[in-house]
Amino acid sequence: MSDPSAPGKKAARSFDFQSMMEQARKGAQERTTVDWNDEIEKAKEENESRIAEMKIKADEAVKKMQIPGNHKTKNTSIEDGEEDDDDDDDFGPSIDLANASTADNEDASSDDEDEDRSKPLAEEEDRPDDDEQPFFPLTHEIDLKHGTKSVSCLTVDTNGERLISGGFDYELKMWDFPTMDKSLKYSRAISPCESHQLRSIEFSPGSDMLLIASGSCQAKVISRDGKNMYECVRGDMYLIDMQKTKGHISTLNRACWNPKDLNEFMTCADDGTVRLWSLIRRTEHVSCIKTKSEQGKKTATTTCTYNTYHTHVTQNEYLITAGCDDGSIQIWDRRRPFVNVTFMSRRAHEPENSITSLCWSYDGRNLASRSTDHTLKLWDIRNFKQPLSEYRDLHNRFSMTNVAFSPDDRFLITGTSTRKKTDDNLNDSTNVGSIYFFNRNSLAEPEGQIQVSEGASVIKTLWHSKLNQILCTTSNGIIKIFYDTIRSKQGALLFANREERQKKANDYFINMNIINPHALPLYRQERVRNLSVIRMKNREDPVKSKRPDLPVSGAGSGGRIGVHGGTLSSYIVKNIALQKPPAQKEDSRAILLGYQEKCEQNPYWVAPAYTSTQPKPIFQTSTEDKSRAKDEDDEDNMVPMWKKQKT
């Protein structure tokens, strides 16, 4: 018998291919009977209804934001940490999201008629309406603390990811929007120009380099991370002709990049020149342009700019513009020699008032100017004698106050300064720093105004085209960012509601007392806190203090001679150098005459031999009396020099 627990033999399975093919054929026939046209129509209706709802919500949000008087800003409170989630839910998705969803649905649909219907609708939505009220992204604001002194320069890269600020505290600070949070701390701070105030900072067109103009006469180019890459040479201040110098000799006022050539930039200074530089040529400038006054003398150049910051504009692309300290605007064409100006407005602004900013429109047709005569003017170089329009009573007392165009090229923005406090305007509520918005077609009346600070002036203003956010700097060290939660993108929206990063255990440093075996009281050494006591003891020790050997007294020892006078030097010191001169000076003639009487009384040696032949000597008796009557100085003169004893 076979074991029932033993596994049985495997039997081969047989498949009927004809029946399987027949079953597959029947299933295919059943599927082909489904009406796919109905299904496509249903999907289209659902998409159209969803798109219509989103458009209605977007239109309602736009109408709410364009209500007059709705320009009051809501300050984003960093301390309270309040978020605007309710407002976002009420407004619904933005217009950009509705357009994006429409494009996705159009791609998914294969019907050409639906694509033709959606294109006119999208074009009508994107087309700006000139009759509608202008919109400014001013619903929310954020304050960045740069320092305590004035923030004089500001720039943002093309992508809107990094903000660079500089001021009178000599520091350049970098703010990275993608990594910031509610703490609003800068990522890095450097001092590129040592003890010089920063007057102008600008990103290169590729956003990989920074051009810095400071209070010195040498401009610098640093990398995006702060590494020095290029420094302009210094000119010779003793040369009169500025064309002969290799660089500036006075304080820089402005520096800007060439939008066409990525290796070229331009600087202007108080020495009355505008110089073009190249990163390839490091020894001297490429070109030098002189600015002259009406009398033909040099005048300080306070600002300069290229024709446009956009490379696709071809109109007026070869023009270099400069504003001078005498209120004139001078323009040169690069295709001609820089000897004579191509366009000039000698009295563009009031004399003895410097022009603080020049800015070309994005289409390259108009030029806006800002000056310390408290005016803003718009020019057309085809008729450069009179401005197209102007607006007065915009107080300005900073040489870095600028003017800028909006991204759509329809508006101009500029900041105002506060007046010096006096007894008359001490309680004046209008004496505040503000940002003014003007329509490009007419500067007669401002389109809007927003008060930035009560006790500080607005210096720099910037309206970023990609972020659609307005940034400004003030004289109290604050950088303000104005944005809109619907119209603005990235920038401040990235970190406005981002919570602070929680600190980890590795972020803390704890001072721990390490106890080793020799730290026990038995092995502990006494610690002398007074170092003067230790130094006194070491000074008494001849080995530690390395004291020289004392002189030997008495007999010598250890190879040292102790007897005084045992050596030649000691003998000379004893007998000659230490010999004291006699107390009284001796007269040799008087000593010889002292033996005269003795020789006469007892002539023993010489006198007896010459008694008969020697004549009677006659001596002069008055010499001794006269010598006694003279002063001591005369006695010294009578003695020969070689007989005088050295004292």
Per residue in 463-495, pLDDT (tens digit) is 999 999 999 999 999 999 999 998 898 899 999
60-69, 77-86, 211-220: segment of lowest average pLDDT: 77-86
Position 86 in a domain: no
For residues 197 and 308, which has the higher predicted lDDT (pLDDT)?
A: 197
| Amino acid occupying residue 413 | I
For residues 138 and 584, which has the higher predicted lDDT (pLDDT)?
A: 138
Mean predicted confidence (pLDDT) in 319-328: 93
Query: How high is the pLDDT of residue 40?
Result: 74
The whole-model pTM stands at 0.60
CA atoms of 482 and 141, how far apart (whole Å):
4
DSSP 3-state of 12: coil
CA atoms of 356 and 397, how far apart (whole Å):
10
**What backbone phi and psi angles, to 5 degrees, belong to 633?**
-65, -40
**pLDDT for 137 beyond 70:** yes
191-205, 478-492, 518-532: segment of lowest average pLDDT: 518-532
Q: How far is CA 290 from CA 242, 243, 287, 330, 356, in A?
A: 8, 8, 10, 10, 18
For residues 343 and 534, which has the higher predicted lDDT (pLDDT)?
A: 343
Count of CB atoms within 10 A of residue 549's CB? Answer: 8
**Binning pLDDT at 50, 70 and 90, where does residue 79 land?**
very low
pLDDT tens-digit profile of 273-303? Answer: 999 999 998 889 999 999 999 998 999 999 9
From 85, 95, 88, 84, select the one nearest 56 (Cα to Cα): 95
Query: How high is the pLDDT of residue 78?
Result: 40
Strands 287-290 and 273-278: antiparallel
Position 214 in a domain: yes
Position 147 in a domain: yes
Mean predicted confidence (pLDDT) in 242-267: 93
CA atoms of 345 and 324, how far apart (whole Å):
11
Query: How high is the pLDDT of residue 53?
Result: 80
Position 250 in a domain: yes
Position 109 in a domain: no
Query: How high is the pLDDT of residue 81?
Result: 41
Q: What is the dihedral of CA 538, 544, 546, 550, to 10 degrees?
A: 70
Query: How high is the pLDDT of residue 344?
Result: 93
Output the furthest CA–CA distance in the chain (Å, rounded): 194
DSSP 8-state class, residue 156: E
Mean pLDDT is highest, among 128-142, 359-373, 562-576, for: 359-373
92-101, 210-219, 254-263, 530-539: segment of lowest average pLDDT: 92-101
CA atoms of 242 and 205, how far apart (whole Å):
30
Strands 264-269 and 74-75: unpaired
**pLDDT for 191 beyond 50:** yes
From 289, 315, 416, select the one nearest 367 (Cα to Cα): 315
For residues 102 and 262, which has the higher predicted lDDT (pLDDT)?
A: 262
Contacts for 644 with CB less than 8 Å, ≥ 6 apart: 636
Q: State the CATH number of the domain containing residue 281.
A: 2.130.10.10
Look at the chain and report how many structural domains it folds into: 1
Mean predicted confidence (pLDDT) in 239-262: 92
Three-state SS annotation for 30-50 = HHHCCCHHHHHHHHHHHHHHH
The answer to whether 166 and 198 are in contact (CB under 8 A) is yes
Position 388 in a domain: yes
CA atoms of 531 and 528, how far apart (whole Å):
7
Q: Which domain holds residue 470?
A: 140-498
For residues 520 and 34, which has the higher predicted lDDT (pLDDT)?
A: 520
Position 631 in a domain: no
Strands 301-306 and 287-290: unpaired
Query: How high is the pLDDT of residue 551?
Result: 73
| Amino acid occupying residue 138 | L
pLDDT tens-digit profile of 551-593? Answer: 776 666 666 666 655 566 776 777 776 666 666 667 788 888 8
**Binning pLDDT at 50, 70 and 90, where does residue 538 land?**
confident
pLDDT tens-digit profile of 331-355? Answer: 999 888 888 899 999 999 998 899 9
Share above pLDDT 70 across residues of the chain, in percent, rounded to a whole number: 70
**Binning pLDDT at 50, 70 and 90, where does residue 511 land?**
low
CA atoms of 473 and 460, how far apart (whole Å):
5
Position 452 in a domain: yes
Share above pLDDT 90 across residues of the chain, in percent, rounded to a whole number: 42
Query: How high is the pLDDT of residue 355?
Result: 95
**What backbone phi and psi angles, to 5 degrees, belong to 290?**
-95, 135
Mean predicted confidence (pLDDT) in 208-215: 94
**pLDDT for 427 beyond 80:** no
The answer to whether 322 and 268 are in contact (CB under 8 A) is yes
E strands, 325-441, in order? 329-333, 343-345, 355-360, 367-371, 376-379, 389-391, 403-405, 411-415, 433-439
pLDDT tens-digit profile of 140-179? Answer: 999 999 999 999 999 999 999 999 999 999 999 999 999 9
